Chains A and B, each alone.
Chain A
Amino acid sequence: DAGITQSPRYKITETGRQVTLMCHQTWSHSYMFWYRQDLGHGLRLIYYSAAADITDKGEVPDGYVVSRSKTENFPLTLESATRSQTSVYFCASRLGQGAGEKLFFGSGTQLSVL
């Protein structure tokens, strides 16, 4: 049951390059999220989307851009990658905004910026 898939699984890039991380979900969940995970910080929210064409900033949005033209896709773009953006990135989805809704996570993209 793929559910939510991220690609690529691993990515190495250089400072200043543009990088796009892909996220695709098959459940038609309304909400999608992008998190980064760094040692000692747990998960930090970058951007989220409540529906197609509706996106909003999270805790650490600087240097990132998102779009959501279709419900099932939520790509994350690093416009000009910096070393501080080296991290593991997780995409997640949620059916709705109800208080009982749990998140479903992708397997993550490990990004290294050299």
Chain B
Amino acid sequence: SQQGEEDPQALSIQEGENATMNCSYKTSINNLQWYRQNSGRGLVHLILIRSNEREKHSGRLRVTLDTSKKSSSLLITASRAADTASYFCAAMDSNYQLIWGAGTKLIIKP
């Protein structure tokens, strides 16, 4: 199974704090994508970073990519209750197939 890896598996923080999730993969990639899944729902695309990019921002999201270490991180700043969800990374390999991580479950406490 070509699964990526994410850590931590679960993360619980206070509202207003920052949340950081990490993702590692094993192959060469075209890009790395992050998705959010609210409980019982489908996944929603958050942000995509290409293999020639090192950092990307979108609102309160900041993604970094280190292709030498085959790793990426997702930072959510000033967390809100609505950020409670599971977050998945997906690395797009050279065949344009996505290799998914097992996800990080994020809980924002009020």
| Number of CB contacts from chain A to chain B under 8 A | 55
Interface pairs A-B: 6 shortest CB-CB:
A105-B42, A99-B30, A102-B45, A42-B102, A42-B100, A43-B100
Of A41, A100, A103, A107, which contacts B98 at CB under 8 A? Answer: A103
Query: A84 to nearest B CB, angstroms?
Result: 15
Query: B86 to nearest A CB, angstroms?
Result: 10
Query: B96 to nearest A CB, angstroms?
Result: 5
Query: B34 to nearest A CB, angstroms?
Result: 10
Q: Is the CB of A103 within 8 A of B1?
A: no
Return the chain B residue nearest A88 by Cβ.
B40
Q: Is the CB of A44 within 8 A of B1?
A: yes
Total residues of chain B contacting the partner, CB 8 A: 26
Total residues of chain A contacting the partner, CB 8 A: 20
Residues of chain B within 8 A (CB-CB) of A104 are 45
Of A41, A102, A107, A108, which contacts B3 at CB under 8 A? Answer: A41
A62 part of interface (Cβ distance < 8 Å): no
A45 part of interface (Cβ distance < 8 Å): yes
CA distance A34 to B88 in the complex (A): 17
Query: A39 to nearest B CB, angstroms?
Result: 9
Q: Is the CB of B42 within 8 A of A99?
A: no
Which A residues contact B (CB, under 8 angstroms)?
A: 40-45, 59, 90, 92, 97, 99-108
Return the chain A residue nearest B42 by Cβ.
A105
CA distance A40 to B103 in the complex (A): 9
Say whether, besides A41-B102, A42-B101, A43-B88, A99 and B96 are in contact (CB < 8 Å): yes
Return the chain B residue nearest A35 by Cβ.
B100
Q: When each residue 38-82 of chain B gets 1 if its CB lies under 8 Å from chain A and 0 otherwise, what string results? A: 001111110010100000000000000000000000000000000
B97 part of interface (Cβ distance < 8 Å): yes
Residues of chain A within 8 A (CB-CB) of B44 are 105
Known: A59-B1, A102-B33, A102-B45; 7 extra A-B contacts, CB below 8 A, are A40-B102, A42-B3, A43-B90, A59-B2, A105-B35, A107-B41, A108-B41
